[in-house]
Amino acid sequence: MLDRLREKIIEFRDLRDWKQFHDPKNLAEAIAIESGELLENFLWKTCNESSNLNSETIISIGEEIADIAIFLTILAHEMNLDIDKIVNRKLQLNEKRYPVETSRGRAEKRP
């Protein structure tokens, strides 16, 4: 599934000759900017309000998540990183770092 999505994203980009703009620095900046746009949907809302958003706001959040996912996919592609592999590796590291018996229900970050 991720492979086909990546192919579709790269094809979309390449048909528009946008690769020239997609160096790692600019892609990382785009991810940060889109993340800010995602956060804007939650600005000045309480935790409860952020869990009970109207459909227009939820659509906007989905669009920002899509933008972030697209830029992340292109960045991984440009750096020859396999998202499936790197996410699974990170999950394995986090399983060791945050064992269930000492982490369940706790939000503290571990070294």
pLDDT given for residue 19 in this prediction: 98
For residue 51, being part of any structural domain is answered with yes
Q: Which residues contact 53 (CB under 8 A, 6 or more apart)?
A: 41, 45, 61
Give the structural domain span for 43.
2-103
pTM above 0.85, yes or no: yes
Over the Cα atoms of the chain, what is R_g?
Answer: 17
pLDDT (average), residues 8-20: 98
Dig out the tokens for 92 from the structure: 């394995």
Whether 22 has a pLDDT exceeding 80, the answer reads yes
pLDDT given for residue 67 in this prediction: 98
Can you spell out the DSSP letters for 6-28? Answer: HHHHHHHHHHTT-GGG--HHHHH
For residue 78, being part of any structural domain is answered with yes
CATH number where 99 lies: 1.10.287.1080
Which amino acid belongs to residue 46?
T
Which amino acid belongs to residue 20?
Q
For residue 108, being part of any structural domain is answered with no
pLDDT (average), residues 79-106: 95
Domain tally for the chain? 1
For residue 28, being part of any structural domain is answered with yes
For residue 111, being part of any structural domain is answered with no
Which amino acid belongs to residue 16?
R
For residue 87, being part of any structural domain is answered with yes
pLDDT given for residue 109 in this prediction: 79
